[in-house]
Amino acid sequence: MKAKQYIVLLVLAIATAGCNLIDDDLSVCGADYLINYQMNLVTEVQTTIDEKLSSDIEKPMADALKAWSEPYFEGHAHDLDMSFYSLGGTDELLEHKSDTINAKQKSYTLYIPRKDYRHLAVVNIAENNNVTLMGGQYVSSMRVAQREADTLPSHSTAIYTARLDMYMPESDSNLTFNVHLYMASSAVAIVQTNQSATSLRMERVLLSGTASSFSINDSTYAFNHNSLIEAEKVVDGCYAMLSLPSRDAVSAPGGAKAKIKAADNSLWQLRVYVPMPDGKVTETVLSFPYALQAGKMEIVKIEVQDDGSVVVIGNAEVGATVTLDWKEGNEHELITG
């Protein structure tokens, strides 16, 4: 994956006994270390939008989707959370700092004792509407955790994380640490391509099957509860949402990983609701047999049929279950295809 990098540069001054405060004279500190925080950005998102939505009819939706996705994929860092853990047998938190950067680049000085650390960093967590940091007292429990609810709005920020072992020998006072931050979030967009042929429109889109938390220390996702993520309306005929990723495979009996082709063993789903002229609502559940990956945007093109059901264009792998005259908690007239 090709990625360009915006660097957030921090000058890390490793404090000695005579240098513990931010206002101290740097000349008595003994050693200065550089930490380069590099946000590894997925730059093909704009290209993917252009390729997927290339017709003149689709261009307004493509332009709107680019504008929607830019804050998440173009690397603006609002805040940076830095945790430094013991590498000496215990995994307890030794030093912690958080700061508002609100830029693509910033430099400042931070003072911590000189020793070896496991360093975990998180960008854009402070103002996220759905996720927060939990378990930060120990490196093994430090995680990005989504709040529990039946339905949640689209995530308001894209989360970037990093981990790095930092060794600071007394004999070396001129070290540079490069901390590479990678996106832990995913994006999905659904686009109706036959708006000129029908007056029927999507009214609501929900995403299911995504992770509930992300462990930064070992880069693993957990699926302890399944909240629905509600998409935002980008423009008429286009909805999009930001979330944590899906599983990368469905567990087979015995815990083995299986390659899934059947729609009923999907990795994630979209629930699409279309209101009908008679006041009824048609629900289509689209089931995807491949993973919704971190750092990527999945674009799903659909057509709305006369009965309000939704058909995916250009992807025969996606399964669909349709409920005509759908009512909350009362599914009937089921059509599976």
- 126-171 tens-digit pLDDT: 999 999 999 999 999 999 999 999 999 999 999 999 999 998 887 7
The rounded percent of the chain whose pLDDT value lies above 90 is 61
What single-letter amino acid sits at 28? V
Q: What is the pLDDT of residues 303-323, one digit of tens each?
A: 999 999 999 999 999 999 999
What is the per-residue pLDDT for 6?
Answer: 54
| Per-residue pLDDT band at 104 (split at 50, 70, 90) | low
The full 3-state SS of the chain, as one line of letters, equals: CCEEEEEEEEEEEEECCCCCCCCCCHHHCCEEEEEEEEEEEECHHHHHHHHHCCCCCCHHHHHHHHHHHHHHHCCCEEEEEEEEEECCCCCEEEEEEEEEEEECCCCCEEEEECCCEEEEEEECCCCCCCEEEECCCECCCCEEEECCCCEEECCCCCCEEEEEEECCCCCCCCCEEEEEEEECCEEEEEEECCHHHCCCCCCEEEEECECCEEECCCCEEECCCCCEEECEEEECCEEEEEECCECCCEECHHHCEECCCCHHHCCEEEEEEEECCCCCEEEEEEEECCCCCCCCEEEEEEEECCCCCEEECCCCCCEEEEECCCECCECCCEEEC
What is the per-residue pLDDT for 57?
Answer: 86
What single-letter amino acid sits at 238? C
Q: What is the mean pLDDT of residues 252-263?
A: 37
What is the per-residue pLDDT for 1?
Answer: 45
pLDDT greater than 50 at residue 36: yes
Select the more confidently predicted residue: 244 or 24. 244
pTM: 0.86
- The token duo for 243 is 């979330």
- The token duo for 254 is 């015995």
